[in-house]
Amino acid sequence: MSTSIRPRKRENHEFIPSDYFRRLEKKEIFENEAPLEVDLGCGEGTFLLDMAEKFPERNFIGVERLLGRVRKVSRRAELRGLTNVKVLRLDSKYVAEWLLPLSSISRVHLLCPDPWPKEKHHRHRLFRPSFLNSLESILEPGGEFLFKTDHDEYYEWSLEQANQYKGSLIQAEWPEDAFFYPKTDFQRQWEAEGKSLDSIRMIKPANL
Ligand SMILES: C[S@@+](CC[C@H](N)C(=O)[O-])C[C@H]1O[C@@H](n2cnc3c(N)ncnc32)[C@H](O)[C@@H]1O
């Protein structure tokens, strides 16, 4: 009698919505009710995967528009045996504005996004009042938006956008050691070049 070793089924960590034209329910992304964090523009996913490994009791979804990076994140999640992380290939703005469930995200991370330095390209920048309105809608009460950039002008511009925004998210201090927060791939690269990062933290009041 021959014994065959059945290969372990590879888990695909890519999340493909059943419908792109309606808001998701939280349980469509992960079946359990664990807190859900979103990493917009997750790149190759080092931050996302480090977070997922550190917090197995939370769920994480990365959003990335480049297919090669999405596949890489999925492969890396499989290699690390993570069951609480998925990655979605879509535009971050669309996901925040139209797809994610309302009042249900515990933290949104936007780390080292493309700064679009030319003025004629500023319209591509994500950080603007309409984006903050979208975040306000999807964050749960007490939820947080965490932003980091190495680009001084984009940072100043983002502060102005935050000041122009009239919604309920409140800017908060973010001391270096406030909580576990792993470095992203771009952050490591830029810090190795001697650059430093600025950050913005905004919180949705717990009573909303
Ligand atoms: C500069 S990289 C930063 C990646 C990662 N957050 C890091 O810090 O290592 C920006 C990433 O965001 C992705 N990206 C840019 N605009 C996007 C958008 N509108 N929707 C989804 N992903 C986007 C890019 O493909 C790229 O992987």
Output the DSSP codes for 177-205.
TSS--PPPHHHHHHHHTT---EEEEEE--
For residue 202, the cross-strand partners are 145, 171
Q: For ligand 1, say whether the CB of 188 is within 6 Å of any of its atoms.
A: no
What digits encode the pLDDT tens for the residues 24-79? 999 999 999 999 999 999 999 999 999 999 999 999 999 999 999 999 999 999 99
- What is the reported pTM? 0.95
72 is written with which tokens? 């890489």
Are 137 and 95 in contact by the 8 Å Cβ rule? The answer is no
Q: For ligand 1, say whether the CB of 112 is within 6 Å of any of its atoms.
A: yes
Atom of ligand 1 nearest to the CA of 188: 9
- CATH fold of 26-203: Rossmann fold (3.40.50)
Average pLDDT for residues 89-94, to the nearest whole number?
Answer: 98
Q: For ligand 1, say whether the CB of 197 is within 6 Å of any of its atoms.
A: no
Q: Whose CA is nearest to atom 14 of ligand 1?
A: 41
Considering only 8-17, 25-34, 185-194, which range has the smallest mean pLDDT? 8-17
Q: Whose CA is nearest to atom 27 of ligand 1?
A: 43
Q: For ligand 1, say whether the CB of 157 is within 6 Å of any of its atoms.
A: no
Are 169 and 204 in contact by the 8 Å Cβ rule? The answer is yes
Q: Which of 50, 114, 185, 198 is catalytic?
A: 114
Which pLDDT does position 207 carry in this prediction? 85
Known catalytic residue at 198: no
Handedness of CA 103, 40, 127, 112 (dihedral sign): positive
